[in-house]
Amino acid sequence: MARVPYVTKDELSPTKKDIYDQIQKRRGHVPRPISVLLHQPQAAARVAALGEYARFDTSLDPVVRETTILAVARETNCQYEWTHHAPLAERADVREEVIEAIRDMRAPSGLLPEEGVFVQYVQELLRTGVVSDATFQAVLDLLGPAGIADLAVTVGYYGMLARIAGSFEVELEEDRKPLLPE
């Protein structure tokens, strides 16, 4: 059970229900990490807006985006993110070998350079707070300045979401089976 209740639309004041609707509109639901933030609706709205950009509107190719999200989920051991994004990664055509290597903590070893560099970027940034010149340049060469900005936003957003889920002990929905090894 989460440390605070998940907020439903009915629990919000009439003036805040539109925030719930806006969050739900593009996703089709309100993710649990956002629903715990609805205790502070303005914060939830702003976090969700950044998430909408990271998930739907960046310049990142879906394979790069989902590989990056899985790398963040694994690096932070976030069951919620992994379980929700592993199927999305498959649908985005992330190779099964990439998903397995990230899940099993073997990546970037054994991956093609153009796949592994994104895992390396995530690992460096989340482990040390900085990205090496070599990794940054490799990503910059692949994505350009706008793409690497979108990559940094994606890592930052999903890293924040993982910390929110961990802080509040957000669980998977009852209909979801955990996909990340404990």
- 39 and 117 fall within a common domain: no
* Burial class, 109, CB count within 10 angstroms (exposed 0-12 / middle 13-18 / buried 19+): exposed
Residue 87 lies in a domain: yes
Please report whether residue 173 resides in a domain. no
Domain presence at residue 124? yes
Residue at 90: amino acid letter: E
Same domain, 89 and 120: yes
- In this structure, the answer to whether residues 19 and 45 fall within a common structural domain is yes
Q: Do the domain assignments include residue 180?
A: no
How many CB atoms are located within 10 Å of the residue 136 CB? 17
- Per-residue pLDDT 10s for the chain (182 aa) are 899 999 999 999 999 999 999 999 999 999 999 999 999 999 999 999 999 999 999 999 999 999 999 999 999 999 999 999 999 999 999 999 999 999 999 999 999 999 999 999 999 999 999 999 999 999 999 999 999 999 999 999 999 999 999 999 999 999 999 999 98
68 in the same domain as 124 = yes
What's the confidence (pLDDT) of residue 153? 98
Both 95 and 120 in one domain: the answer is: yes
Residue type, 58: T
Quickly count: other Cβ atoms within 10 Å of residue 97's Cβ: 14
Residues 113 and 23 in one domain: no
In this structure, is residue 66 part of a structural domain?
yes
Using the 3D structure, point to which of 17, 36, 56 is the last residue of a domain.
Answer: 56
**For the chain, how many structural domains are there in total?**
2
Q: What is the DSSP string of 42-62?
A: HHHHHHHHHHHIIIIISSS-H
Structural domain includes residue 162: yes
Query: Are residues 93 and 139 located together in one domain of the fold?
Result: yes
**Domain-ending residue, one of 23, 38, 56:** 56
pLDDT at 182: 80
**pLDDT of 93:** 98
Specify whether the CB–CB gap between 37 and 85 falls below 8 A. no
CATH number of the domain where residue 157 is located: 1.20.1290.10
Range of the structural domain that residue 159 is part of: 60-168
In this structure, the answer to whether residues 47 and 105 fall within a common structural domain is no
Q: Please state, in angstroms and as integers, the Cα–Cα distance from residue 87 to each residue in 26, 66, 124, following that order.
A: 18, 10, 25
In a domain, 163, yes or no: yes
Please report whether residue 176 resides in a domain. Answer: no
Distance of alpha carbon 152 from alpha carbon 149, whole angstroms: 5
